[in-house]
Chains A and B, each alone.
Chain A
Amino acid sequence: MVEQVTHPLSKYLRADMMPHIWCPGCGNGIVLNCFVHALDELKTDLDKLVVVSGIGCIGRTAGYTNTDSFHTTHGRAIAFATGVKLASPELEVVIVSGDGDLFAIGGNHFIHAARRNIGVKVICANNFNYGMTGGQLGPTTPLESLTTTSPYGNIEHPFNLVHLAAAAGAIYVARWTTLHVRRLTQSMKKMMQKEGFCFIEVISPCPEIFGRYNKMRTGLEMMEWFKKASVVESFSDPAKAEITKEKIVVGEFVDTQKLSYEKLFHEKIAQINERSIQ
């Protein structure tokens, strides 16, 4: 049956912005799909949700979701989201951004937001390079990978994002690939219900740029690599979850509870105001 109909999730997307600009086989569409699935299953009030994104291919997400959203400057997605969350703590703030934005130029914002436990939710699509600008070497490019700025193989050790987030103090840390759509959606649902700094890393295929240099020219070949290499381990040690060609450890890594910054912040202000009245 082939017919012209509208998708049931299209109410969460801005119709005038569709179809999106992402390449065929790009994982960003799957991240957006899983995100709106999670919103649909949780029956989230779209007036109480803010989507913030930074620069990069996945930064377009803020323009595609039919919520209050903001596309910030490079690396400042968390800085902007911190302001939103502190000004109106009743809003749900979700950051959808890439590895270059969150960990290269925005690395400092990330570790301090995690340390202070600000109640923003971070979804990071990790495609191993700077896809939008032509495939330069990024902070997550695996060793010996070829990119436009490392044509003889990468010699820089990459970040282990889940270890970084767990060490900096995030209360919920998980990693999935774009092939684990069900578990990714479940994880996003769990994250949205928590209070505090949560982080999900999504390993995303970039066939047009990263794959082209690394003998995986189509999205299907990259997904087959994820299928072959990924190992689901629940609550394993994030320090040992390095991404290599042979093994990608996926699963939940940290799930704890801590008082969030905005709660302590508003309590403290109330205390001081009370004292000054007396």
Chain B
Amino acid sequence: MPERIKHKPLDIDKVKPPKAEIHIITDQCKGCGYCIQFCPKQVLEESKEINARGVHPPKIVDESKCILCSFCTAVCPDFAIYTTEKKCAEGC
């Protein structure tokens, strides 16, 4: 639970953060690094591979940490990354 919330929310047992699926269109990336730097959960990091444009595109470290804030989708100048909600089976 984040430190700024002093009281435990009443529906904390029922509400779960959504599961996200991150899609990276590697060859459109120009390697500005905004998605890596400004991700609130540090889900992305720079990869070792080089794409068609000669830069290092981001790669996913841990997709389960993503909370679907979609900041990376909004801040990407090259339309190279987007997130969708993962539809999961019952019980997850």
Contact = CB atoms under 8 A, between A and B. Distances in A.
Asked if A and B bind, the verdict is yes
Interface of A: 1-10, 13, 18-20, 22-30, 32-34, 37, 178-179, 181-182, 185, 218-220, 223
Contacts of B78: 19-20, 29
Which of B34, B74, B75 has most A Cβ within 10 Å?
Answer: B34
Contacts of A2: 24, 26, 59
Contact of B23 (A1, A19, A28): A1
A58 to B, nearest CB: 12
Chain B contact residues: helix, strand, loop or mixed: mixed
Given A2-B24, A2-B59, A7-B79, A182 B74 contact: yes
Interface of B: 21-28, 30-34, 37-38, 55, 59-60, 63, 71, 74-80, 82
Contact of B25 (A4, A29, A34): A4
Given A1-B21, A179-B38, A33 B32 contact: no
Contacts of A7: 25, 79-80, 82
Contacts of B27: 4
Contacts, number: 84
Contacts of A30: 34, 74-77
A212 B73 CA distance: 27
B79 A26 contact: no
Given A24-B31, A27-B77, 19 more contacts: A1-B24, A1-B63, A2-B26, A3-B23, A6-B25, A7-B79, A19-B28, A19-B30, A20-B78, A24-B32, A24-B55, A25-B30, A30-B34, A32-B77, A37-B74, A181-B71, A182-B74, A219-B32, A220-B37
